[in-house]
């Protein structure tokens, strides 16, 4: 059992409240996943900047000289903002690959949580309310975000086993369920050169999507083919720079509820997670169909693609 929440804002006036709304939803899902919690939040799109979020077990020492070291390595202006065990590195737009290479040299123990233009991922072990308060998630603004509360089944309760998983630039995945063919698929993906760091099943799901997209698939196509290639139970919610998507396995025993109003599209593992949203009593509330890829985007009209 795990809990998933997601919120995609249509009404820009709600953007300053995104973090607060998502945090309330996340904490409601604590009893579905008290082990660890994480959130991916899509913030302001500054055309001159990209962002990398990193995590360290020893943030005091790791982050002390990181800004200077990265500036020297890249030969460009960078800004490092620390939040507890995480730090957001703002670098010139398009410099993600060289920056990641430089980070591996500067401090190999740093873990990259996310990279992209607008995404920031924060995740840690602990109760969702504690994780939310450590990162001050409540104060964050953004266009859309995804949160996850974890009750571990397939691998250890660690930071790297927490969700969301970053699957590519500005992309992330959260999962409720358990994949049963992850060991075999992990070996296959590793032979293809995909880096997988843990024994976690969801990381394999994320790596699978990354691999499919590196080979030319769109996110929608990658999600569609996951229905054929992933065995087990899953409700996936994926985030992209301009939207979010939902797909459930054909058995669909992992719960999912969605709500839509003129102001937002929201996802919750249970209706409880949605009850504090504005206008929920008048929202269209429904369960996403099994084996069906749904997507909402700021750039295009909503789509529902039947399997």
Name the segment binding other proteins (CB under 8 A); options: 53-61, 178-186, 227-235, 265-273.
Answer: 265-273
Work out whether 112 is an interface residue with other proteins (CB under 8 A).
no
- Which positions ≥6 away from 241 have C-beta within 8 Å? 42, 45, 116, 117, 118, 119, 169, 170, 171
How many CB atoms are closer than 10 A to CB 126?
17
Name the segment binding other proteins (CB under 8 A); options: 113-121, 190-198, 238-246, 285-293.
Answer: 285-293
Name the segment binding other proteins (CB under 8 A); options: 35-43, 51-59, 69-77, 251-259.
Answer: 251-259
Under a CB-based contact definition with an 8 Å cutoff, are residues 292 and 248 in contact? yes
Among 78, 173, 252, 266, binds other proteins (CB under 8 A): 252
Work out whether 227 is an interface residue with other proteins (CB under 8 A).
no
CB of 236 to other proteins, least distance (A): 17
Q: Cα-Cα-Cα-Cα dihedral of 203, 114, 112, 156, to 10°?
A: -30
Q: Which of 2, 140, 189, 252 is catalytic?
A: 2
The phi and psi torsions of 191 (rounded to 5 degrees) equal: -65, -30
Under a CB-based contact definition with an 8 Å cutoff, are residues 111 and 82 in contact? no
Helix then strand then coil, % of the chain, to nearest 5:
30, 35, 35
Q: If we measure between CA atoms, which residue out of 69, 79, 52 comes closest to residue 106?
A: 69
Hey, what are 289's tokens? 């169909």
CB of 275 to other proteins, least distance (A): 4
Confirm whether 2 is a catalytic residue: yes
Among 286, 300, 302, 307, binds other proteins (CB under 8 A): 286
CB of 176 to other proteins, least distance (A): 13
Q: What is the pattern of x (binds other proteins, CB under 8 A) and - over residues 228-247?
A: --------------------
Work out whether 34 is an interface residue with other proteins (CB under 8 A).
no
Work out whether 253 is an interface residue with other proteins (CB under 8 A).
yes
- The residues that are catalytic are 2
């Amino acid at each position: 059992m795990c809990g998933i929440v997601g919120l995609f804002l249509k009404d820009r006036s709600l953007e300053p409240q995104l973090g607060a709304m998502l945090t309330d939803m996340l904490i409601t899902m604590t009893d579905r996943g008290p082990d660890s919690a994480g959130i991916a939040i899509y913030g302001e799109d500054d055309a001159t900047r990209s962002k990398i979020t990193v995590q360290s077990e020893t943030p005091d020492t790791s982050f002390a000289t990181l800004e200077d070291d990265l500036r020297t390595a890249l030969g460009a202006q960078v800004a490092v903002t620390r939040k507890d065990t995480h730090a957001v590195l703002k670098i010139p737009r398009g410099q993600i690959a060289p920056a990641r290479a430089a980070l591996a040299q500067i401090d190999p123990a740093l873990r990259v949580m996310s990279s992209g233009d607008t995404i920031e991922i924060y995740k840690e072990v602990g109760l969702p309310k504690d994780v939310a308060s450590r990162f001050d998630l409540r104060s964050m603004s953004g266009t859309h975000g995804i949160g996850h509360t974890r009750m571990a089944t397939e691998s250890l309760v660690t930071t790297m086993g927490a969700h969301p998983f970053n699957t590519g630039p500005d992309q992330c995945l959260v999962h409720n369920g358990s994949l049963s063919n992850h060991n075999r698929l992990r070996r296959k993906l590793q032979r293809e050169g995909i880096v997988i760091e843990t024994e976690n099943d969801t990381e394999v799901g994320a790596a699978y999507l990354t691999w499919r997209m590196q080979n030319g698939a769109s996110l929608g196509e990658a999600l569609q083919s996951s229905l054929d290639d992933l065995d087990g139970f899953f409700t996936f919610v994926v985030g992209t720079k301009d939207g979010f998507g939902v797909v459930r396995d054909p058995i669909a025993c992992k719960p999912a509820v969605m709500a839509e109003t003129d102001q937002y599209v929201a996802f919750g593992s249970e209706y409880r997670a949605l009850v504090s949203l504005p206008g929920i009593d008048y929202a269209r509330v429904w369960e996403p169909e099994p084996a069906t890829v749904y997507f909402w985007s700021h750039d295009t009209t909503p789509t529902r693609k039947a399997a």
